[in-house]
Amino acid sequence: MDPIASVSSMETIVSLARRRGFVFPSSEIYGGLGSCYDYGPLGVELKRNVKDAWWRSMVQLREDIVGLDASIIMHPRVWEASGHVNCFHDELVECTFCKQRARIDHVDQIEENCKAQKKSKCVWGEPRQFNLMFKTHLGPMEDSANAVYLRPETAQGIFVNFNNVLDSTRVKLPFGIAQQGKSFRNEITTRRFTFRMAEFEQMEMEYFVKPGEDEKWFTYWRNARLEWFKDLGVSKERLRHRDHAADELAHYSKACTDVEYFFPFGWSEIEGIASRSDYDLKQHAEHSKKELIYRDQVSNEKVVPYVIEPALGTDRAILTFLVDAYCEEELDGNSRVVLKLHPRLAPYKAAIFPLLRKEGHPEKAQEITKIIKERYNCFYDESGNIGRRYRRQDEIGTPCCITIDHQTMEDDTVTTRNRDTLEQKRVKVSELFSELGEVLGF
């Protein structure tokens, strides 16, 4: 099947996400809040697994990257130094008739939609600059002296902690500092579900290198970040790099590449990999009047490192995994919906079913559930016929179902059923962990 042509519609994904408790509209009983979403019982498991997979690959499996968790509210001068106060703007236009507001780069799309829906054309006014940072006040006085911002990116928390990390660890160039956490942007147009939100999460890593080695490391991270998605099962045909043209680059940026995914609404950015030169460290050094340099222990040479930054939106990664995993298949003359999530990401790794609600099956199934829970997140279900129970687990991506039946009571074996191959096996309870390890791959 052509992976591009077979991408599911956004309506299908939004409906599944809501129905099965992955993602809910925020404050829904009050009519929802367009740009904000809540992760439900399954969504929160998926989100933890996505964040863990990133942390594992970016920090725990490496020798050269350490973690950080900086505060969301930072000194307001951070955002002057970073350029966000003066430059983090979108151009906003307003229709003089219907009062609709839009980002200037979204106007063409809006006009096409109006034409398709035979609505009258908008008459756009002059563009205005609109800063995307949320402003608030720290303390009880609402005056400009205590104005602060909700961070629009996690990256600056890393730059301002550069000296703290150098002084408290033994990192040597090249090294990285990684961080996951909430960011906030007062986006003018929020559409496409969780793709563009006002409150979202980022997973960013600043990789500090010797000047002159930046091109080599940019190429390394550009490739490594696309491979991460492939390793977690995303179809390679729906992933690509998009290198920014020279006129798209920020003034301090030497190069930038987006990792794009083919969503139902077309190719769109999921992660940016930027070569940021020494701009951020130099800006903060100048504004704070503190030296932000790396001193080589052997040669005593001082350098301001260059930075390569892979910056991923957690919510966009989750949306990518959901869209990519969604399949509809024919099975025994019926159709089944299956989320072919990578086992590491699946909310539940296994589901345990007693065949009957009597004859000791539930007690035995509960006993097995308790044992499996020690290692893997799993789900006990005794309601409905077995076929329906399988379908419910397929739809949320559970890789393995385990059924307890009459034979279990005689010889302590259970039936396992693989979500993807549909293969069923008779397995001894004492060998369940090794069977699960084989199905899940960890």
Which residues of the chain form contacts with ligand GAP (CB under 6 A)? 153, 155, 185, 187, 196-197, 200, 202, 204, 269-272, 309, 311-313, 315-316
DSSP code per residue over 89-144: EEEEEEBTTT--EEEGGGHHHHHHHHHHTTPPPP-B---EEEE--EEEESSS--SG
Closest distance of CB 103 from ligand GAP, Å: 12
Q: Of 318 and 436, which has the nearer Cβ to ligand GAP?
A: 318
The DSSP element (H or E) to which 402 belongs, if any, is: strand 400-404
CB of 9 vs ligand GAP, minimal distance in Å:
20
Residue type at position 388: R
Of 26, 24, 6, give the one whose Cα is nearest residue 16: 24
174/181 with CB nearer ligand GAP = 181
Instruction: Provide CB contacts within 8 A for 217, sequence distance 6+.
Output: 174, 207, 209, 308
Nearest of 44, 36, 42 to residue 21 by alpha carbon: 42
CB closer to ligand GAP out of 311 and 352: 311
CA distances 377 to 160, 309, 347, 398, 416, Å, are 38, 33, 7, 10, 16
- 126 touches 97 (CB < 8 A): no
Residue nearest to ligand GAP (CB): 313
Closest approach of Cβ 146 to ligand GAP, in Å? 26
Find out whether 177 and 206 touch, Cβ atoms under 8 Å: yes
Residue with tokens 């740009």: 35
Closer residue to ligand GAP (CB): 160 or 197: 197
The phi and psi torsions of 162 (rounded to 5 degrees) equal: -55, -50
Shortest Å distance, C-beta 122 to ligand GAP:
23
236 CB-near residues (< 8 Å, 6+ apart): 230
The distance of closest approach from Cβ of residue 271 to ligand GAP in the complex, given in angstroms and rounded to an integer, is: 5
Nearer to ligand GAP, 202 or 393 (CB): 202
- Decide the pairing of beta strands 302-303 and 326-331: unpaired
Tell me whether residue 210 or residue 244 sits nearer to ligand GAP (CB atom). Answer: 244
Cβ density class 10-21: b for 16+ within 10 Å, e for less: beebbebbbebb
Closer by beta carbon to ligand GAP, 267 or else 380: 267
The least CB distance from residue 78 to ligand GAP, in Å, is 13
Minimum Å distance from CB 156 to ligand GAP?
Answer: 8
What SS3 class is residue 278? Answer: coil
In this complex, which beta carbon is closest to ligand GAP, that of residue 278 or of residue 435? Answer: 278
- 322, burial (CB in 10 Å: exposed 0-12, middle 13-18, buried 19+): buried
Closest-CA residue to 169 (of 288, 277, 297) = 297
Q: How far is the CB of 309 from ligand GAP (least distance, A)?
A: 6
- Burial class (CB within 10 angstroms; exposed 0-12, middle 13-18, buried 19+) of 141: exposed
State the minimum distance, in angstroms, from the CB of residue 293 to ligand GAP.
22
Of the pair 52, 187, the CB lying nearest ligand GAP is at 187
CB of 204 to ligand GAP, least distance (A): 5
Q: Rounded to an integer, what is the distance from CA 381 to the centroid of its chain?
A: 29
Judged by CB, which is closer to ligand GAP: 72, or 114?
72
What distance in Å separates the CA atoms of residue 257 and residue 122, rounded to the nearest whole number?
Answer: 34
